[in-house]
Amino acid sequence: MGFFDFFKQPDINQGVKEYRQQEGAVLLDVRTPQEYRDGHISGSKNIPLQTIDKVADLLENKDTALYVYCHSGARSRQAVSYLQHMGYRKVNNIGGIAAYRGKVESI
């Protein structure tokens, strides 16, 4: 990994594509409930960063592939770290919805 790779942001569009191709994968939105209601990626589950430990209620299998996003990528990076510490082995930070080019849905 080169020096500038450290600054490279995840590509949410590629991440969503990979999520959709992986059977049984879960797409996690770690923004607030209000942000989620205002617009989220179809099929995502909302578990705010502040309550990330609640993911254990949703996912017992620690080998489930998780694709995590937020608004800009900062909270998703933190969530990935927490999830890995909780024992989840296939956790992917796909960045922020602000860069998403697909359709979003609102509640």
Catalytic: which of 12, 30, 70, 94? Answer: 70
Q: Does residue 70 have an active-site annotation?
A: yes
Q: What is the pLDDT of residues 39-89, one digit of tens each?
A: 999 999 999 999 999 999 999 999 999 999 999 999 999 999 999 999 999
DSSP 8-state secondary structure symbol assigned to residue 58 = H
Considering only CA atoms, which of 46, 53, 59 is closest in space to residue 82?
53
Is the pLDDT assigned to residue 6 strictly greater than 60?
Answer: no
Q: Which residues contact 38 (CB under 8 A, 6 or more apart)?
A: 106
**More confident site: 6 or 51:** 51
Band of residue 1 on the pLDDT scale cut at 50, 70, 90: very low
- What CATH number matches the domain at 13-101, 3.30.360.10, 3.30.540.10, 3.40.250.10, 3.40.1160.10? 3.40.250.10
User: Residue 26 burial (CB < 10 Å; 0-12/13-18/19+)?
Assistant: buried
The residues pairing with 45 across neighbouring beta strands, listed in sequence order, are: 28
Supply the pTM of this predicted model: 0.92
